[in-house]
Structure 1
C-alpha cells in the first residue's frame, strides 16, 4: 500500500484533520494533502513525527511502499550527492579549459560557454538543495 493512502486512512481512523496533523508535524495543510494524494513524500523527520502522532511504527509507514523507500534512499545518500557535485565541478573545469584552447573557433567557444553556464546552474541548484 502506498504511504499516502496509509497516512490518509490512519488520520481518518484517528479522526484528525489535515490541519491538526500539519500543526503536529510542522508543515502546511497543503503538504499533508500532497503526501496523502501521492504528489510528494514526507522527509524522514516528518515520517518519525507522523509515526509518533499516529502511534504506528516507522516500518509500518515505510516498508510497504517501495517508491517511498527509494525516495528516502535517494534523498539521504549524501555520498552520491557529493560525488555528483564533484563530477559536475570537474566537468565545468574541463569545459573551461577546452574553451580557452578553442578560443579561436568562435562557434565552438560559444557552445562551450553555454555548456559551462548550464552546468554551473545545475551545480548551483545542487548546492542550494544541500543547504
Structure 2
C-alpha cells in the first residue's frame, strides 16, 4: 500500500480533518492533500510527526512503499547532496575560467563577452539550484 493511502486511512481512523492535521504538523491543508494523493511526499520530520499524531509506527507507515523510501533516501543522503554541490561549484569555477581564457583569444570580444556573461549566469544558476535544494 502506498503512503498516501496509509496517511489518509490513519487520519480518518484518528478522526482528524486535513486542516487539523496541517495545523499540528505546521504545513498547509493543501500539503496534507498532496501527500495523501501522492502528488508530493512528506519529509522525514513530517513522517515522524504524523506517525506520533496517528499513533502508528514508522515501520507500519513506511514499509512497502518503494517510492517513499526512495524519496527519503534521496532527501536525507548528505554525502550525495554534498557531492552534487561540490560538483556544481567546480563546474561553475571551471566554466568561468575557461570562458574568460577563451575570450582573450577571440578578435571580437564585445559579442563574446555577452556569451560569457550568459554562460556564467547559467552555471551560477545551476550552483544556486544545488544550494537551495540542499537547504
Q: Given the two structures, how large is their TM-score scaled by the length of structure 1?
A: 0.89
Within 5 Å, give how 1:76-87 maps onto structure 2.
76-87=76-87
Give the aligned partner of residue 54 of structure 1. Answer: 54
Q: Is the 8 A contact 2:62 2:69 kept in 1?
A: yes
Q: Is the 8 A contact 1:2 1:65 kept in 2?
A: yes
Secondary structure of the structure 2 residue equivalent to 1:10: helix
How far, CA to CA, are the matches of 2:129 and 2:84 in structure 1? Answer: 12
Give the aligned partner of residue 127 of structure 1. Answer: 131
* Number of equivalenced pairs: 131
Q: Is the 8 A contact 2:88 2:130 kept in 1?
A: no
How far, CA to CA, are the matches of 1:110 and 1:82 in structure 2? Answer: 31
What's the offset of the Cα at 1:122? 1.7
Q: Is the 8 A contact 2:18 2:32 kept in 1?
A: yes
Give the aligned partner of residue 119 of structure 2. Answer: 115
Report Cα offsets for 1:21-61 as digits up to 9, x if no partner: 11221111111011001111011011001111111110111
Q: Is the 8 A contact 1:98 1:112 kept in 2?
A: no
Give the aligned partner of residue 42 of structure 1. Answer: 42
Q: Is the 8 A contact 1:88 1:123 kept in 2?
A: yes
Give the aligned partner of residue 9 of structure 2. Answer: 9
Unaligned runs of 5+ in 2: none
What's the offset of the Cα at 1:110? 4.7
Q: Given the two structures, how large is their TM-score scaled by the length of structure 2?
A: 0.87
Matched, 1:70 2:74: no
Q: Is the 8 A contact 1:4 1:35 kept in 2?
A: yes
Secondary structure of the structure 1 residue equivalent to 2:30: helix
